[in-house]
Amino acid sequence: SLLEGLATGRPALVIEAIPMADFVRDQCCGETVVRMNVDHLEVALNRLMDRYDDYRDRAWANCEAFSLEAMVESYGDIYRTVTASA
């Protein structure tokens, strides 16, 4: 999945329609495509391969945000917020 890939520092290829496209674009950790068709995918994959080392480095620098620990902490924050307001 996208989150598992980002958690392990792998560059991403995503469609613009999903919210995570902003993260991928803003953090320069992969490529985004407007439409999932052969032409758009070909361009994005070529850019991804050309810039793979840079994207990998940027993805690796952000991988802690998607770790199991970060997820557990985030769920804990939600739980504490909900139980505090009950």
Q: Per-residue pLDDT tens for 13-71?
A: 999 999 999 999 999 999 999 998 999 999 999 999 999 999 999 999 988 888 888 88
pLDDT at 86 over 80: no
Let me know: does 21 contact 71? Beta carbons within 8 Å: no
Q: Is residue 3 scored above 90 in pLDDT? A: no
Q: How far is CA 80 from CA 23, 70, 71, 73, 84, in A?
A: 26, 15, 14, 10, 6
Check: pTM over 0.85? Answer yes or no. no
Which among 66, 54, 1 is positioned nearest to 30, based on CA atoms? 54
